[in-house]
Amino acid sequence: MAENGSAPSVSLLVPVYNVERYLAECLDSVVAQTFGDFEVVCVNDGSTDGSRDIIERYLADPRFRVIDKANSGYGASMNRGLREARGKYVAILESDDFMEPGALERLVGVAEDIGAQVVKARFWFYWSTPAPRNEPYRFYGDVTCGRPFCPMNDEAIFHEKPSIWSALYRRDFLEANDIRFLETPGASYQDASFNFKAWACADRVVVLDEEFVHYRQDNEASSVNSPAKVYCVCDEYAEMDAFACRLPARRDALRGILTRMRYDSYVWNIERLSFDLGRQFVFRMAEDFAPLVEDDVAMARLEPWRAERARAVVRNPLLFFAQQTCQDDWSFVRKMRHYLRVGGPSLLVGAVRERLR
């Protein structure tokens, strides 16, 4: 904590729910930071394992504090942390991840030097078993690195992985724009709408082509690995739509950006789900895209091939699902069996007609 009881430079929010296996490594990486002017706000979301006892060990350090609350989900926990934060900047660290010692020092230094509202960095995908392994995340598109930009003038950043835990945010920027998390108990992907809101409102962002956080991939309890949360991504996009409508000067551009984001996210959701759940979800995708494909403003940011695929899911959801989940290296016979499994003989006939068309 800052000297003389003054507000710290950084409020680091750590949401905690039943992560006793990883929590000490996470908090140890915070203690090891070369930048010391921070507070750590551990938000304990009703953990039933040993997580709370682990947090207790760190409370001797006056920079650490804990908020104990009844279990109400990630969004509610993060919003509680934002309300309690006192720092000039806010950072987030997931409790099954950990950061490099120089992370906060580098992020704060860039934010101060450039006057950025958000500083974003890359990260590592991390596996602890069978042996520790890191793979650097590479930006998907042509993201501007090393100099300030406005996301509305340089849209590639919207289409990157949200990874809100690899960024630093000005707290007054978040508060002025009412950037908060969607509170849906038991939901997941709640970083998606928070991330979108930040890019939608920011005028001065810096992205660093450097990694600071180890993003764990082998936590089986992670929400991203839960097929039960099939439609949570749809709730997040409804929240983004509503937020965009509150920004009239940027609304039309944001609608186009959101359609592209939604297409990629829904397809990703289909591909991660089991066969039965994916087949079920594709009808929701068709329902959500039906009004969009008739709206030129909403479709304006889609490349021709994405636009055609968006129309295809509305035209025939099961055919879209069969095409999306069919592997190129499968034999002809296996592909036919796949189409029959998805929609029976009529779908197979429809696929042939579609191919001829």
Which DSSP helix (H) or strand (E) runs through 317?
Answer: helix 317-325
- Average pLDDT of 100-111? 98
Distance of CA 102 to the CA centre of its chain: 23
Indicate whether 354 pLDDT > 80: no
The tens digit of pLDDT for each residue in 253-267 reads: 999 999 999 999 999
| CB distance 38 to 14 below 8 Å | no
The tens digit of pLDDT for each residue in 48-69 reads: 999 999 999 999 999 999 999 9
Give Cβ neighbours of residue 279 (< 8 Å, ≥ 6 apart). 318, 321, 342
Residue with the two structure tokens 């580098």 = 106
The tens digit of pLDDT for each residue in 339-350 reads: 999 999 999 988
* Residue bearing the bigger pLDDT, 176 or 6: 176
The tens digit of pLDDT for each residue in 157-190 reads: 999 999 999 999 999 999 999 999 999 876 678 8
SS3 67: strand
**Arithmetic mean of pLDDT over the chain:** 93
One DSSP character per residue, 78-143 reads: HHHHHHH--SSEEEE--TT-EE-TTHHHHHHHHHHHHT-SEEEEEEEEEE-SSS-EEEEPPPSS--
pLDDT band at 333 (very low <50, low <70, confident <90, very high): very high
Which neighbouring-strand residues pair with 167? 120
State the distance between the two ends of the chain, measured CA to CA, in whole angstroms. 66
Q: What is the pTM of this model?
A: 0.93
Indicate whether 6 pLDDT > 90: no
- Average pLDDT of 300-314? 97
Indicate whether 223 pLDDT > 50: no
CB neighbourhood size of 132 (10 A): 9
| CB distance 237 to 162 below 8 Å | no
| CB distance 43 to 81 below 8 Å | yes
Q: What is the DSSP letter of 14?
A: E
**Model pLDDT, residue 89:** 98
Indicate whether 3 pLDDT > 80: no
